[in-house]
């Protein structure tokens, strides 16, 4: 827990003597914290910003921080970053991967670490983003004509082994088109 240095008062007592009091500062262990500009983002959105901060440590040296990424298939995060001399923090991108799978929201945990530092982590959910596109061969058709061809395409091409039932509807109740499959 990052909660600052603590001062402890120590007292020596013995019968007939005045007590002796001394104070002692217990300095907090060096630690790393991590925050993100967003808790969740879509597969197709621009990167979020991650901030890694060092606490209770000498800043006269740069600090190399290693980052672990629990789901490298869902987001790209640099494997190492440097907190520069005289700086407390560094920022880096959390870039979601736009895959072609209907794969549900995926939590991704990023954990910074450096030798001697207490570590913490942050979890960012990468939301699924798959689409249907509908294209018609003709933009105008005759009401008694032969009709036109509609093609529905799904974006998740990497996991399309199962058939997908697509509902087709129209806003025109009078000139309702007849769909033939
Ligand atoms: Ca996608
Ligand atoms: Ca997906
Ligand atoms: Ca995904």
Range of the domain at 111: 29-127
On the question of pLDDT at 1 being above 60, the answer is: no
Rounded Cα distance, 66 and 83, in Å:
11
Strand ranges (E), the chain: 6-12, 20-26, 31-36, 40-42, 48-55, 63-69, 75-76, 80-83, 89-96, 106-113, 122-127, 132-136, 150-154
Whether residue 145 is contained in a domain is answered as no
Q: Identify which ligand lies nearest to the alpha carbon of 155.
A: 1
Q: Identify which ligand lies nearest to the alpha carbon of 45.
A: 1
**Centre of ligand 3 from the C-alpha of residue 154, in Å:** 15
**Centre of ligand 3 from the C-alpha of residue 121, in Å:** 20
Whether residue 48 is contained in a domain is answered as yes
User: How many domains would you assign to the chain?
Assistant: 1
Whether residue 160 is contained in a domain is answered as no
Whether residue 76 is contained in a domain is answered as yes
The whole-number pLDDT of residue 170 equals 84
Q: Which residue has the tokens 């998740």?
A: 156
**Centre of ligand 2 from the C-alpha of residue 33, in Å:** 29
Q: Identify which ligand lies nearest to the alpha carbon of 44.
A: 1
On the question of pLDDT at 176 being above 90, the answer is: no
The closest alpha carbon to 118, from 62, 40, 52, 55, belongs to 55
Q: Identify which ligand lies nearest to the alpha carbon of 71.
A: 3
pLDDT tens profile 32-85: 999 999 999 999 999 999 999 999 888 999 999 999 999 999 999 999 999 999
**Centre of ligand 1 from the C-alpha of residue 149, in Å:** 26
**DSSP-derived 3-state class of residue 159:** helix
Q: Mean pLDDT across the stretch 162-166?
A: 90
Whether residue 42 is contained in a domain is answered as yes
On the question of pLDDT at 178 being above 70, the answer is: no
Structure tokens at 83: 């907190």
The whole-number pLDDT of residue 173 equals 67
Question: pTM for the whole thing?
Answer: 0.77
**Centre of ligand 2 from the C-alpha of residue 75, in Å:** 12
CA dihedral 81, 83, 2, 57 (to 10 degrees): 130
């Amino acid at each position: 827990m990052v909660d600052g240095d603590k001062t402890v008062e120590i007292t020596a007592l013995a019968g007939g003597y005045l007590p002796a009091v001394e104070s002692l500062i217990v300095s907090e262990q060096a630690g790393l914290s991590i925050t993100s500009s967003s808790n969740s983002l879509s597969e197709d959105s621009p990167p979020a910003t991650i901030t890694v901060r060092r606490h209770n440590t000498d800043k006269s040296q740069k600090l190399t921080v290693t980052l672990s990424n629990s789901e490298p298939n869902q987001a790209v995060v640099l494997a190492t970053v440097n907190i520069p001399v005289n700086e407390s923090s560094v920022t880096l991108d959390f870039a979601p991967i736009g895959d072609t799978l209907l794969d549900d929201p995926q939590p991704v945990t990023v954990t910074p670490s450096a030798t001697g530092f207490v570590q913490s982590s942050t979890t960012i959910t990468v939301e699924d983003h798959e689409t249907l596109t509908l294209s018609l061969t003709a933009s105008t058709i005759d009401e008694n004509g032969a009709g036109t061809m509609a093609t529905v395409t799904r974006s998740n091409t990497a996991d399309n082994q199962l058939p997908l039932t697509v509902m087709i509807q129209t806003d025109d109740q009078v000139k309702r088109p007849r769909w033939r499959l």
